[in-house]
Amino acid sequence: MNANKAPANTAADRLPRLLALVPYLIARPGIPLDEAAADFGVTPKQLRKDLELLWMCGLPGYGPGDLIDLSFEGETITVTYDAGMSRPLRLTAAEATALLVALRALANTPGVVDSDAVRRTLAKIESAVGQAQPAGVVVGLTMRENEATGRTREVVLSALAGRLALRIRYYTASRDEISDRTVDPMRMLLVEGRSYLEAWCRLAEDVRLFRLDRIDQVEVLAEPAAPPPHARQHDVSEGLFRPEPDQREAVLVLAPDARWIAEYYPVEDLTELDGGRARVRMRYSDMSWMVRLILGQAGEVIVAQPDELAYAVMSCARQALSRADHLSAT
Amino acid sequence: MSTARAERLVNLVLCLLSTRSYLTAERIRGIVPGYADAPSDEAFFRMFERDKAELRDLGVPLETGRNSAFDATDGYRIARRDYELGEIDLEPDEAAAVALAVRLWDSPELTGAAQGALLKLRAAGVDVDEDAVARVEPRVRTGEPAFAPLLAAVQAGQAVTFAYRRSAVGEPMTRTVEPWGVVSWRSRWYLVGQDRDRGAARCFRLSRVVGEVRTVGRPGAVVRPAGVNLMEHVLGGSQDPKQTTSARLWVAKGRAQGVRRQATVVGERTLDGELGDEVTVELRFPESAAGWLAGHGMDVVVLEPDVLRKTVRERLLGVLDAHTRGAGL
């Protein structure tokens, strides 16, 4: 979970750390060395080197009374003289942008974190930063959702908070099916603008992701959520679609108007063809899902392989046309 | 950075923070430990210029000026009110929000900057537990190679030129843009700005930028118009329309669950010898809904409106036609 932690002591990080250390220690008299090192993302050994360096710094005159003074007691540190460096340097424009843009994104995202706390934080940081507000970066984390999804979220969050199981009626788009399931909630996720409940599904006997806007009914049960110990969280850092060994593979030719498919779904081996078309390799688990996708594209997607899929698409199109003609005949 | 240089720079900051009058480079050379080591005037000035640049890069507000009209050269000082971060005191839930905000970025550019901000907040006395678990952990990645140069151009206010592939055209075309901002929407990054070739505001998807992004003209030349809403430019026409179109469909019994869950059953009806339901459904985007309905093949037949019925039919004919030609069957 700590992929985002401060990178280990690189040369470029040293000066900002040196300028922050004295005010940091002033705010925490007697802090253990290990704890301070962890906050700065460096080893205790490196922090000691930094403190030794700061000990040599001070105000013109550079006599004993002019230099930064630190007292060590056991493994704890206290600043006894700060040489005028009592506050940290203000945030740079880039730092203020990174922090404030992220906070604004969180403030506008329902269900992630207490929005009220985020708004209070924003106000405090904006006033402390006291410079031009960043306006060149905007992040939108969620799509606008309807009221029903908002209500579903409330119920799911209450089940998570109370560690209770849920009964849900769920629409599975890949199979175009609706089913009732009992699930043991594990966490909520936000991927590509949509909210998901990750839970142990007692029907599938596996961990599943449930898109909140596809949960048609939800009810908190009076029994505790009990995902089995071997239930593992999905890694969604690469997106939701994961290539799986038992998946089938199709080769598709995308006309310009269907190129969005190559951006929306993970595809492989994209080859540019004439007229702005592209050939791609795409994995799929469910034949009927793939047929539905292609049937809807008005011929902008052509199945090059496998023949089985191409025949299925053509046969479904013929049957649909025949039935529609039947309607006009009656 | 060498220990000697780091020490010199900390001493330089302390010295300039403690002075009210401007100190010339010569005075600084005589006062701040480390500069005396410079073997020549030229070596000293080179050293001093590098140090000033380093401090400015870090955001240290170096002021230049003269104490009186009789001074021959500029001096330097740091105004404490410009240097110091303002007072800040965060409640535990607010500090948790900061931790989540810092973790939001999965980006070499933004993660580093957010970490820098966190370091300073901690130095200001705020306690932030980086490992506190949140209900949801959103992440924003910046995987596109064009992100770093475009963000830099936005922050520098500098025009850019790059090759861009429009979805409808295979060949990339060169575009010159005055960048106003970068926007992340549903895990995709966009550039919004004034397209000089089109003479209008445009939105560019970063994943469609081909090759290198080059800057054009001087930094500071691009000024974002007041009141521009970057997100609105990205959302464009994709926002929810106010009006919906009502459609009547026939749906085979037990089939097309995705359609059924949005529809209201109004009666039973047999079509083509198969029992089904007649349903009504409100469509927000009739054009894309035609593809969605066509996808269900023989399980869904449009009864009304006629225009939707024809569109679905044309789509299915298009599929059949393309595959008959495409597969050579």
Domain final residue pick, A173, A208, A224: A224
DSSP alpha helix (H) spans, B77-235: 80-83, 92-104, 108-123, 147-156, 230-235
- Structural domain count, chain A: 4
Could you report the predicted ipTM of this complex, rounded to two decimals? 0.81
Cis preceding-peptide flag for A256 (omega within 30 of 0) = no
In-domain check, residue A54: yes
Rounded CA gap, B51 and B45, in Å? 10
d(CA B123, CA A24): 4
pLDDT for residue A8: 43
Strand-strand pairing, A206-211 and A194-201:
antiparallel
Higher pLDDT, B51 or A188: B51
pLDDT at A182 (0 to 100): 97
pLDDT for position A6: 43
d(CA A184, CA B129): 28
**Is residue A4 one of the residues assigned to a domain?**
no
The range of the structural domain enclosing residue A272 comes to 248-328
Q: What is the mean pLDDT of residues B235-261?
A: 84
* Average pLDDT over all residues of chain B: 90
Instruction: Read off the pLDDT of each residue in A64-90 and give the average, rounded to a whole number.
Output: 91
Residue B237's pLDDT is 57
Does residue B201 contact residue B178 with C-beta atoms inside 8 Å? no
Residues A124 and A151 in one domain: no
- With 50 as the cut, is the pLDDT of residue A2 above it? no
Choose the mutation target among A113, A116, A198 for the interface with B, i.e. most B CBs under 10 Å.
A113
| Amino acid symbol at A196 | Y
Smallest Cβ–Cβ distance between A103 and the set B101, B183, B301 belongs to B101
Judge if A257 and A303 occupy the same domain: yes
Residue A130: list chain B partners with CB under 8 A. Answer: 86
N- to C-terminal Cα distance for chain A?
Answer: 63
Contact A181, A202 (CB under 8 A): yes
Query: CATH code at A166?
Result: 2.30.30
- Nearest-by-Cβ selection for A138 from B59, B231, B317: B231
Which residues, other chains included, contact A328 with Cβ-Cβ below 8 Å and sequence gap of 6+? Answer: none
Residues forming beta bridges with residue A165, ordered by sequence position: none
Q: How many CB pairs under 8 A join A and B?
A: 404
In a domain? residue A5: no
Interchain contact, B115 vs A4, CB within 8 Å: yes
Residue A313 belongs to a domain? yes
Write down the pLDDT at residue B245. 86
Spatial strand order of the sheet with B263-271 comes to B263-271, B274-283, B245-252, B300-304
Amino acid at A218: V
- For residue A265, tell me if it sits in a domain: yes
How much is the average pLDDT of B192-210?
A: 93
Q: What is the pLDDT of residue A243?
A: 64
Residue A2 lies in a domain: no
* Tally: H helices and E strands in chain B: 11, 14
Asked if A298 lies within 8 A of B314 by C-beta distance, the reply is yes
| Residue B88: pLDDT over 80 | yes
A171·B130 Cβ contact <8 A: no
Domain of residue A23, CATH code: 1.10.10.10
Question: Any residues with CB less than 8 A from the CB of B282 and at least 6 apart, and which?
Answer: B244, B245, B246, B247, B262
Q: Which of A224, A240, A271 is the last residue of a domain?
A: A224
What pLDDT, on a 0 to 100 scale, did the predictor assign at position B214?
97
Cα–Cα distance measured from residue B87 to residue B96, given in angstroms and rounded to the nearest whole number? 18
Amino acid at A241: F
When pLDDT is averaged across residues B254-268 and rounded to a whole number, the result is 94
Domains of chain B in start order, with CATH, are 3-83 (1.10.10), 92-141 (no CATH), 153-237 (2.30.30.520), 245-326 (no CATH)
- pLDDT grade for A329, boundaries at 50, 70 and 90: low
Locus of tokens 């990750």? A198
Determine contact, residues B153/B109, Cβ cutoff 8 Å.
Answer: no
Best to test chain B binding among A25, A46, A87, A108 (most B CBs inside 10 Å):
A87
Share the mean pLDDT of chain A: 88
CATH number of the structural domain spanning residue A278: 3.30.70
pTM beyond 0.80: the answer is: no
- Measured at the CA of B287, the angle between CA B283 and CA B293, to 5 degrees, comes to 65
pLDDT at A11 over 80: no
Tell me the three-class secondary structure of A303-317, residue by residue: EEECHHHHHHHHHHH
B319/A313 touch (CB, cutoff 8 Å), yes or no: yes
